Each structure stands twice: as C-alpha cells, then as structure tokens.
C-alpha cells in the first residue's frame, strides 16, 4: 500500500508530471513536434548545402547565385541601411492594406450573409471584379491615386479583400437556421443575432480567410512598389534585377519570405487567443 502511495503522490504534487502520466498523448505530441522541427532544419540544411555545391557546377553562379553570396549581399544591404528603410515601407503598406481589406471583407461578408437580397443583387459585380487580373489594375490605380502610399494600400487591400470576404460569407451562411429562429422567438433582434450568433460562428472561417490573405498583403505591397516606387522591397527587387545582381535579388526575396512567415504567424497567434473558447468547449 505504501508503495502505491509513493508512486501516485508525485503525479499529484507536480501538475506537469501529472499531465504526462495521465495523458500519454502529450508525450506523443511532444515527440511529433520534435521530429517535425528537426526535419525542417535538416531539410533546410540539405537544400542549402546542395545549392552551394551545385552552383557553379550544375548551373552558372550568375543565374542561381549561392547561399554564401546571398548572405554577403544581405549583409551589404543591412550595412548600407537600404534594407531597413525598404522593410519599413513595405511593412507599413502591407499592414495598412491588410487591415483595410480585412475590415471591408468581414463587413461585406456579414452583410451579404445576413441579407440574401443584397447578396443576389451585388454578387455578379463582385464575381466580375474577382475575375479581373488584379495586376492589370495597377496602371489604373496609379492614374487614380498617384504613385504614393495610397495607391499601394488600395491595391493591397483589393488582393486581401476577396479571400476574407468569401470565407466570412461562407461562415455566416453556415449558421444553423433553426438556431436563428429560436433566438428570434426569444425576442432577439437582428443585431443581437449578428452579434451573438453570426459573428462568433463565422470567426473560424474569418481567420481561415485572414491566414490565406496574409501573404497577399505582402505580395500586393511588393508588386505595387515594383511598378511605382523608389523605395521598399519591391523597388529593391526591381533594382537588383535590372543590375543583374542575382545575389542581391535572392537576398531581398529571402527577407520578403521571412516577413510573410512573420505575418502569418502573427495572424495564427491572434487566432489562437481569440478562438480559445472554441477549443475549450
């Protein structure tokens, strides 16, 4: 009996140990996370190693550069101060466009989902706008808004808008109609139904759209800068390409990729915090 007591006591004395003893899936999940992280690192190391060795042997360094030269070019961009200014401009444009496109997409998604008449009237126009190649609108936006900050924000917001709008619309329409009938019988207004049922139910759909749109925000800002700017990551990409600076071009692309991953991680973090109540149900 004493042996059993001594065996059980540490589990209740330490919450972490108790969790590991009671739920073996926690250890399995930790093991899986370790395997995934190690595999990611090894894959990156192998890829960069093959690239470094193959450059100049299988393909000319002029065309594909090599990781060592990219690191040197990245260091030069940092030392010159160009990279900091470029990142700052691109991030501000991407965040402003992301925020504007997200707010408009969520608002119209809820409106269209709640009011089917408005959705049926405006649906062909939105489908027509969505079918347009957005890059082709850049010259028109330059004509309307100039080549400054506003044009880049508007173009970025347009890229962000549609994925968020469509996911929000799908989430609102997925709400159980019987539930809406019940709360209306209980005296809830339309605004109460939107605030207490439609929006909470559609949040997981909204965040799915936000995660899809996060890279589009960065893409939109970079594309707009490539057309009409003398600063930003898009301008650096155009400049290094025009100078046939392959290492500098890859260095700028690496920074752009890191920013995209950071933006996606930020959206995922907000999603985990706001949707914690769904996981606890």
pLDDT at 211: 86
pLDDT at 212: 87
Note whether 41 and 73 are same-domain residues: no
pLDDT at 179: 65
Q: Give the CB-side neighbour count of residue 248, counting CA atoms within 13 A.
A: 19
Boundaries of domain holding 6: 2-54
Which of 33, 54, 75 lies at the terminal end of a domain, its last residue? 54
Note whether 136 and 81 are same-domain residues: yes
pLDDT at 185: 66
Note whether 138 and 181 are same-domain residues: yes
Q: Is residue 59 part of a domain?
A: no
Note whether 144 and 84 are same-domain residues: yes
Note whether 45 and 118 are same-domain residues: no
pTM attached to this predicted model: 0.77
Q: What is the pLDDT along the chain (281 residues), one digit of tens a residue?
A: 444 444 444 444 455 445 445 456 777 788 888 888 889 899 989 998 898 888 888 878 888 888 889 999 999 889 888 889 999 999 999 999 999 999 999 999 888 888 878 878 888 888 888 887 888 888 888 888 888 888 999 999 999 998 899 888 888 887 766 666 666 666 666 666 766 677 777 778 888 888 888 888 999 999 988 887 778 898 999 988 888 888 989 999 999 999 988 988 888 888 787 766 555 44
């Amino acid at each position: 009996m004493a042996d059993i007591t001594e065996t059980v006591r540490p589990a209740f004395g330490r919450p972490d140990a108790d969790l590991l003893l009671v739920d073996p899936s926690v250890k399995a999940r930790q093991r899986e996370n370790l395997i995934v992280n190690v595999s990611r690192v090894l894959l990156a190391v192998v890829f960069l190693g093959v690239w470094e060795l193959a450059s100049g042997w299988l393909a000319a360094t002029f065309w594909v550069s090599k990781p060592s030269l990219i690191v040197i070019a990245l260091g030069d961009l940092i030392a010159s101060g160009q990279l900091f200014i470029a990142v700052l401009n691109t991030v501000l444009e991407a965040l402003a466009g992301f925020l504007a496109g997200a707010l408009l997409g969520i608002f119209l998604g809820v409106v269209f989902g709640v009011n089917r008449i408005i959705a049926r009237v405006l649906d062909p126009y939105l489908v027509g706008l969505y079918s347009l190649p957005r890059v082709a609108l850049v010259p028109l936006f330059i004509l309307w808004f100039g080549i400054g900050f506003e044009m880049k924000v508007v173009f970025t917001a347009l890229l962000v808008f549609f994925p968020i709008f469509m996911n929000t619309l799908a989430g609102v329409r997925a709400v159980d109609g019987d539930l809406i009938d019940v709360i209306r019988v209980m005296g809830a207004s339309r605004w109460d139904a939107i605030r207490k049922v439609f929006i909470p139910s559609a949040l997981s759909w909204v965040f799915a759209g936000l995660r899809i749109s996060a890279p589009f925000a960065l893409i939109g800002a970079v594309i707009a800068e490539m057309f009409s700017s003398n600063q930003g990551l898009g301008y650096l990409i155009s400049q290094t390409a025009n100078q046939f600076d392959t290492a500098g071009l890859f260095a700028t692309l690496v920074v752009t990729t890191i920013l995209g991953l950071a933006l996606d991680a930020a959206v995922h973090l907000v999603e985990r915090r706001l949707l914690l109540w769904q996981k606890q149900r």
